[in-house]
Amino acid sequence: MADLLAEAEAELYADDPDGFTARRAELAERARDAGEPAVAKKITALRKPTRSAWVVNRLVRSDPKVRSRLDRLAADLREASDGGRLRELTAARAKLVDELTRVALEGLPAPPAALREEVTATFDAAIADPEVAASLGTLVRAARYAGFGGFAAAPPASAPKKTKAPAEPAAEREARRQERIKEAERALADADRDLESATAAERDLEDSVRDLEAQLADLRQRLAEARRRSYRAESRQQRAAGQLSRLKE
């Protein structure tokens, strides 16, 4: 049961999302044919990834070292206790994110700037947010870390009090709001495509059902006629047999 679901996830989140919906239906049907309706239900519930999420998933699934490199750098950043070490790791973070973004986009013809930015933001968020890191490989949409870098050096022991964090700039708040709007628009577009595909499949199946019902009605009519012919033939056979018997007496 677990293998069927894992295999479906591996295929769906590694392959191009353009064929996601149709292939998801095929894999769910295969699970039902294998006598695993619960797995089929879980497969049907898998959500189609955006193109940027797919780019990240594809790299993570093709190169197991990606996840460990991100996790190791995240752990080092959490343990950094002085400014020098933090600056060193921050530079390493930028370098790693740039490298992974470049490799993830290899093979894509002229990837747009928006796609590149979303992939970069997702890898950066995976370093700062354990939940994002855990979802790598089955991401549904790009991620973005909402904090200010995610890590900070520990304050000096002699500091008399904590410095109040500066208020978030209005421009940054607006940028994050616009990003949420874009994500909502992308989610709506995905839902529209899924609805269109499901509606088309429903129409096709309805046509098939009507054709089969017409064929069934025709076969039933032919069966009834065959039964009448059989009855008449049997009656004639019985009369002929009786007449022959009487002639022999």
CA pair distance 241, 196, nearest whole angstrom: 67
> What CA–CA distance (Å, rounded) separates 16 from 13?
8
Region for 137 from its dihedrals, namely left if φ exceeds 0, alpha if ψ lies in -120 to 50, beta otherwise: left
Query: What is the pLDDT at residue 62?
Result: 93
- pLDDT number for residue 179: 67
pLDDT at 198: 59
pLDDT the model gives residue 229: 77
CB half-sphere exposure, 218, CA atoms < 13 A? 6
Q: Is 223 exposed, middle or buried (0-12, 13-18, 19+ CB in 10 A)?
A: exposed
Q: What is the pLDDT of residue 31?
A: 93
| pLDDT digit string, tens, across residues 156-170 | 334 444 555 556 567
SS3 15: coil
Say how far apart CA 102 and CA 111 lie, in whole Å. 11
Which stretches of the chain score pLDDT less than 70? 1-2, 146-169, 171-172, 174-177, 179, 182-221, 223-225, 230-231
